[in-house]
Amino acid sequence: MNNFWQKFASALRDPQLRKRIGFTVLALILFRVLATIPIPSVDPAQLARLLSSSQFFSIFNIFSGGGLSNLSIVMLGVGPFITASIVIQLLTMMFPSWKALMHEEGEAGRLKLSQYSRLLAVPLSLISAVGFMMLLQSENVLPQLTTAQLILNAIIITGGSLLLMWIGELISEFGIGNGVSLIIFAGIVASLPTIIVNFITKIIGGTVTMADAPTYLMFLVIAVVAIAGTVFITEAERSVPVTYAKQVRGNKVYGGASTYLPLRLNQAGVIPIIFALSILILPQMIASPLSKVSNPMIAGIATSVFNFFSNQLTYGIFYFVLVVAFTYFYTAVTFDPKMISENLQQSGAFIPGVRPGEHTQNYLANIVTRITLVGALFLGIIAVLPIILQSFSSGDRSLAIGGTALLIVVSVVLDLLKKIDAQVAMREY
Q: Could you write out the three-class secondary structure of 347-400? A: CCEECCCCCCCHHHHHHHHHHHHHHHHHHHHHHHHHHHHHHHHHCCCCCCHHHH
pLDDT (0 to 100) of residue 26 = 93
pLDDT of residue 55: 62
Considering only 19-33, 34-48, 244-258, which range has the smallest mean pLDDT?
244-258
Work out the mean pLDDT of the chain and round it to a whole number.
78
Number of domains in the chain: 1
Looking at residue 69, the DSSP 8-state letter turns out to be: G
Is residue 168 predicted with pLDDT exceeding 60?
A: yes
In the chain, the percentage of residues whose pLDDT exceeds 90 is 4
Taking residues 51-78, report their average pLDDT: 71
Task: Tell me which of 138 and 404 has the higher pLDDT.
Answer: 138
The candidate with the shortest Cα–Cα distance to 121, out of 133, 132, 129, is 129
For the cut 80, the answer to whether the pLDDT of residue 74 exceeds it is: yes
Q: What is the pLDDT of residue 166?
A: 92
Query: For residue 168, what is the domain's CATH number?
Result: 1.10.3370.10
pLDDT, tens digit, for every residue of 127-167? 888 877 877 777 777 777 788 888 888 898 899 889 989 99
d(CA 81, CA 161): 8
pLDDT tens-digit map of 225-274 = 777 877 787 778 888 888 877 665 656 655 567 788 888 888 777 778 77
Task: Estimate the share of the chain in helix, then strand, then coil, as percent rounded to the nearest 5.
Answer: 75, 5, 20
pLDDT, greater one: 418 or 123: 123
pLDDT recorded at residue 95: 76
Which pLDDT does position 402 carry in this prediction? 57
pLDDT score for 58: 66
Angle (CA) 272-218-372 rounded to 5° is 25
Written as one letter, the residue type at 123 is P
Rounded CA-CA distance 74/35 in Å is 6
Maximal C-alpha separation, the chain = 87
- Residue 271: the pLDDT is 77
Measured distance CA(114)–CA(417) in Å, rounded: 25
Give residue 323's pLDDT band: very low, low, confident or very high (50, 70, 90).
confident
Q: How far, in Å, CA of 129 to CA of 324, rounded? A: 29
What's the pLDDT at 103?
63
Q: Which domain holds residue 175?
A: 2-428
- Type of residue found at 404: T
Confidence band of 6 (pLDDT split at 50, 70, 90)? low
Tell me if 256 sits within 8 A of 245, measured CB to CB: yes
Residue 401 in this model has a pLDDT that exceeds 60:
no
- The pLDDT of residue 141 is 74
377 versus 139: the higher-pLDDT residue is 377
The whole-angstrom separation of Cα 177 and Cα 183 is 11
Q: Could you tell me the pTM of the whole model? A: 0.75
How many whole angstroms separate alpha carbon 323 and alpha carbon 308? 19
